[in-house]
Amino acid sequence: MKLKSLGTALTTAALIATALTGAVATAGTAAAATKPDCSSALVNVKPKATVNIRSAPKTSAKALGTWGKGQKGGVCFGDRKPATGGSYTACGKKSNKWYFGGPNSTSVEGWVPATCLPI
């Protein structure tokens, strides 16, 4: 993951999330996530399963790519808290917590389910 592009990608994701909240609310619609603090990143994170990288912290958001099981990557970790978004079940757990990040092998960055990251 290119940490220099994290701020730009993060701003884009936050704008998309904000724009999406203007739509009619339905069951499972996520509230706009606040911009995570990307002043530091947690590196060498390996997902427990392959996960979709999303444009906003909800499962209905556009999938930008995937982050493979066991593939090293990084997540924004300045405030050490995941963002609250849409509910999901992933990696055997139900949650509404999301982290912003992605794999090292690509420049794709976005929102991934927190339950699949060993944080």
pLDDT at res. 39: 84
Contact 76, 99 (CB under 8 A): yes
pLDDT at res. 34: 62
CB atoms within 10 A of CB 42: 16
pLDDT tens-digit map of 38-47? 888 999 999 9
Residue 28 gets the label, from left (phi > 0), alpha (psi -120 to 50) or beta, of left
Q: How far apart are CA 113 and CA 53, in angstroms?
A: 9
pLDDT at res. 33: 56
pLDDT tens-digit map of 47-104? 999 999 999 999 999 999 999 999 999 999 887 889 999 999 999 999 999 999 999 9
| Residue 106, C-beta contacts closer than 8 angstroms, at least 6 positions apart | 1, 65
Give 90's strand partners: 93
Please list, residue by residue across 2-39, b when 16 or more beta carbons sit within 10 angstroms of its beta carbon and e when fewer do. eeeebeebbeebbebbeebeeeeeeeeebebbebbebe
Q: How far apart are CA 27 and CA 50, in angstroms?
A: 25
Flag whether the pTM goes above 0.85. Answer: no
Taking alpha carbons only, the member of 106, 70, 99, 83 closest to residue 34 is: 83
Task: With a cut of 90, say whether residue 112 has pLDDT above it.
Answer: yes
